[in-house]
Amino acid sequence: MNTLVTSGISISVATNYRQDLSDPTTSSYFFNYTITIENTNPFNVQLLTREWYIFDSLNNARMVSGPGVVGEQPILKSGEKYSYVSGCDLSSDIGEMKGFYTFLNIGTQEVFEVIVPNFVLEFPGKLN
């Protein structure tokens, strides 16, 4: 699991290869990633947007951005955690994702960015 803290927000990422949704014979690889966000600040925050850079070793890089995560813009009180699972498809057996979230300090209305640690998406058979 990769973890990074930026501006009092801890982001942890764990990945999982989905054999049931993948077909290596057609260069189709699917991965889930679980992200846990913890607000270690003394103030409440709201996740507003996400920005992803997805690197696929056999394809052009993709940028994905939009409001919230998995259809939500969660509010995290001081000390609270929020987790979600999402997914990514690749046309190669190895790739990487990185990005950031934009958060709002609810008390001051200040907007700030929080880095998501880079994480590798790798077909388990690649390790053999």
Per-residue model confidence as pLDDT tens digits over 84-105: 999 999 999 999 999 999 999 9
Give tens-digit pLDDT for 8-46.
Answer: 999 999 999 999 999 999 999 999 999 999 999 999 999
Over range 68-84, report the average pLDDT: 97
Q: The tokens 């925050």 sit on which residue?
A: 45
C-alpha span between 99 and 116 (Å, rounded): 5
Q: What is the helix (H) or strand (E) element at residue 17, kind and residue range?
A: strand 9-17
Domains belonging to the chain, first-starting first, are: 2-122 (2.60.40.1470)
Taking the whole predicted model, whether its pTM rises above 0.85 is answered as yes
